[in-house]
Amino acid sequence: MVSASIFPMIAVLVLMSLILTTNVIADHDRSTIPTTLEGPFKPVTVPLDKSFRGNAVDLPDTDPRVKRRVSGFQPEQISVSLSSTYDSVWISWITGEFQIGYHIKPLDPKTVASIVRYGKLKSPLTHRTTGYSLVYDQLYPFQGLQNYTSGIIHHVRLKGLEPNTLYYYVCGDPSIAAMSETYHFRTMPLSNPKSYPSRIAIVGDLGLTYNTTSTVSHMITNHPDLVLLVGDVCYANLYLTNGTGADCYSCSFPDSPIHETYQPRWDYWGRYMQPLLSKVPIMVVEGNHELEEQAQNQTFVAYSSRFAFPSKESKSRSTFYYSFNAGGIHFIMLGAYISYNKSGDQYKWLKRDLAKVDRGVTPWLVATWHAPWYSTYTAHYREAECMRVAMENLLYKYGVDVVFNGHVHAYERSNRVYNYTLDPCGPVHITIGDGGNREKMAKTHADEPGNCPEPSTTPDKIGGFCAFNFTSGPAAGKFCWDRQPDYSAFRESSFGHGILEVKNETHALWTWHRNQDLYEIAAGDIIYIVRQPDICPVEVEPH
C-alpha cells in the first residue's frame, strides 16, 4: 500500500516536470523549433519501440469511473459544446437510466424539463434558458439480440454570451429537485486575427481503455480550452448486445446476423469524460465506429443523438458536417461517411461555407474528418481516395491551412501537399488516430516490402473505387511507393494526443504528446505551422 505522504512528493515531481517542459518549449521558441518554412522535410520514421504494447484493454463496467453515480432524474454525462460563434454554447446531459434487454419501454422525454441556469457569478445564477430532449433506441430485428433505449438526452443552447468569459451553470429540472452541482466553462475569444484559444487538444479514435485514461490525463495536464475529437468515440460496436467484446469484431463474431453494438458503453464513456467535458467544450465528427446499423437500416443514431452540433447555426442540414469559429480560426468538420460528391448536399454546403469565410477575421482555416487522405500506414491505405478526388481541389482553392484526421491508429504529419505533390500552398495533413482504443496500433507502412495492400481491398463504401496506380512522380505505375513518400514528413506508432496553439495570423505551434512521455521534457513531435498569405493568396468570392 502506498503511503499517503508520498502523494505530495509526486505532485511536486509532476509540477517540476511541467515547469521543465514549459521552459524547454520556451527555449525552443527562441531557437530550435522547426517551422514549415524550412520544409519540405526529409521523411522520418521513428522505429517501433519493441517494448511498446500496441493493444489496449477496455475499462470494465465495474470501474468506478464508468458507474452511474446519480439517482432518479439527476443529470449525468454533462458536456459542453460550441455553437458556430463565441456568443453561444450548448449544454448537454442525460437523465434517467438506460434499459437494455428483450422487453424495454422508452422513457418519456416530456416527464423531465431541460433547464440551464447560468451567469458570470457562481451565485446567484441570473440567467435561465430551456432546451429540448429526446430518447433514442438501438433495435435489432433478430431473436436473441438485446435492444436498448437511452436515458433522456437534453440539449440546451445558451445565447448572448460574452467572449473569453467564465460562466457558471447548473442543469436539470428544478421542479423535481433534480439539478446538477455547479459547473463552469469559458467562452471562445472574439473572432479576429489577434485573438485565439490558448490550447486546442486534438485526439482521434479515443475509445475507453486504460490507454484512453492516460491520453485524457495528459490532455487535462495541457489545460486545453477546446477538445476536437476526430471520430471513433467509444467503440460500442466492438461488443455484442450481451456485453461480450473483442478487438476484431468480424474475426470473433463472423456469424452475427447484423453488426451488433453494446450501447451502454456510450453511457460509460459519457460518465468517464464528464469531469473534463463539463468544463471544456468538445467538438466531434463521426467515424466509422459510429455507424452502428440497426433495424430499418438506421445508422449513426447514438452519435447524432448524444452530441449537440452547430449544424443549423452553420447552415448545414446534417450532424455529419458543420462549421464553427474559435477566435481567429474557422473550423470545418466534414463527413467521410455521407455523400461528398459534387452533386451532393455536403459538397454544396462546403462550397458555400468556404466562400463566406473572411480571412481578415479568421485567418486560420482548419478542416477535420475521420479517414485520412495522406496516411502511409498499411491500415486504411488510400481508403478515402474518392473523398480526396472530390474535395481536395476545393480545400486547396480556399487555402485550408491544416487538416486533422483519425482512423489510422498511429501518428503521422505530412509536408505541405496537394494531389500527392509537395506544394508550399497545400495543407499540412496530420493523422492523430492514436487516442488509445481497443483495436490494435497501426505499425506497418505500405511502402515497406510486402506491406502494400491489394488495391481491391481499398474501396470506399460511399464513393466506390478511386485508388488507382499513381500516374506520375516517383511511384508512377505503382499503387504504393517503395520508400517513405516525400509528402510524409514524420511518422511514429504510439498512443497520444496533440495540442494546437495558434500564436498569431501566421504562426501556430503544433506539439504531439506521447503517453509514455509523462515525465519527459521533450514532445514526440513539435513544429511551427506557418501560413504564407503573401505567396499563397486565397480565392475570394465576389459579394
Q: What is the rounded distance in angstroms from the CA atom of residue 468 to the CA atom of residue 479?
A: 7
Q: Name which of 409, 405, 482 is nearest 446 in CA terms.
A: 482
- Buried b / exposed e over 81-102, threshold 16 CB at 10 Å, is bbbbbbbbbbbbbbbbbbbbee
Helices 264-277 & 210-221, crossing angle to 10 degrees?
20
pLDDT given for residue 141 in this prediction: 92
Provide the residue type at 60 as one letter. Answer: P
C-alpha cell at 9: 512528493
- Buried b / exposed e over 205-233, threshold 16 CB at 10 Å, is bbbbbebbbbbbebbeebebbbbbbbbbb
Task: Kindly write down the DSSP assignment for every residue of 33-74, as one continuous string.
Answer: --BGGG-SPPPEEPPPPTT------BPPTTSTTTS----TT-
Provide the residue type at 334 as one letter. Answer: L
Half-sphere exposure of 431 (CA within 13 A, CB side): 27
Q: Name which of 330, 249, 322 is nearest 90 in CA terms.
A: 322
Indicate which residue of 380, 409, 497, 513 is catalytic.
Answer: 380
Per the rule left: phi > 0, alpha: psi between -120 and 50, beta: everything else, 29 is alpha
The residue behind cell 480550452 is 225
pLDDT given for residue 255 in this prediction: 87
Give the residues across from 324 on adjacent strands. Answer: 331
- The helix (H) or strand (E) run that includes residue 527 is strand 525-530
Between the two ends of the chain, the Cα-to-Cα distance in Å is: 69
Percent composition of the chain: helix, strand, coil (DSSP 3-state, to 5): 20, 25, 55
Q: What is the rounded distance in angstroms from the CA atom of residue 42 to the CA atom of residue 40?
A: 7
Encode 109-120 in three state secondary structure.
HHHCCCEEEEEC
Q: Is 429 a catalytic residue?
A: no
**Torsions phi, psi of 214, nearest 5?**
-65, -45
Q: What is the rounded distance in angstroms from the CA atom of residue 23 to the CA atom of residue 132?
A: 47
What residues contact 187, with CB distance under 8 A and at least 6 apart?
86, 87, 89, 161, 162, 163, 164, 165, 167
To 10 degrees, the CA torsion angle through 190, 391, 230, 85? 20
Let me know how long the chain is: 543
Q: In angstroms, what is the C-alpha Rg of the chain?
A: 23
**Torsions phi, psi of 43, nearest 5?**
-60, 140
Q: Determine the distance from the C-alpha atom of residue 338 to the mean position of all C-alpha atoms in its chain, rounded to a whole number.
A: 17
Tell me how crowded residue 142 is: count the other CB atoms within 10 A of its CB: 11
Tell me if the bond preceding 106 is cis, omega within 30° of 0. Answer: no
What pLDDT tens digit does each residue of the chain (543 aa) get?
434 433 343 343 334 344 334 433 444 454 689 999 999 999 999 998 877 766 689 999 999 999 999 999 999 999 999 999 999 999 999 999 999 999 999 999 999 999 999 999 999 999 999 999 999 999 999 999 999 999 999 999 999 999 999 999 999 999 999 999 999 999 999 999 999 999 999 999 999 999 999 999 999 999 999 999 999 999 999 999 999 999 889 999 998 889 999 999 999 999 999 999 999 999 999 999 999 999 999 999 999 999 999 999 999 999 999 999 999 999 999 999 999 999 999 999 999 999 999 999 999 999 999 999 999 999 999 999 999 999 999 999 999 999 999 999 999 999 999 999 999 999 999 999 999 999 989 999 999 999 999 998 888 888 889 999 999 999 999 999 999 999 999 999 999 999 999 999 999 999 999 998 865 667 899 999 999 999 998 866 654
Q: Name which of 542, 78, 88 is nearest 312 in CA terms.
A: 88
Q: What is the rounded distance in angstroms from the CA atom of residue 166 to the CA atom of residue 119?
A: 9
C-alpha cell at 486: 516525400
Q: What is the rounded distance in angstroms from the CA atom of residue 440 to the CA atom of residue 432?
A: 14
Q: What is the rounded distance in angstroms from the CA atom of residue 122 to the CA atom of residue 412?
A: 43
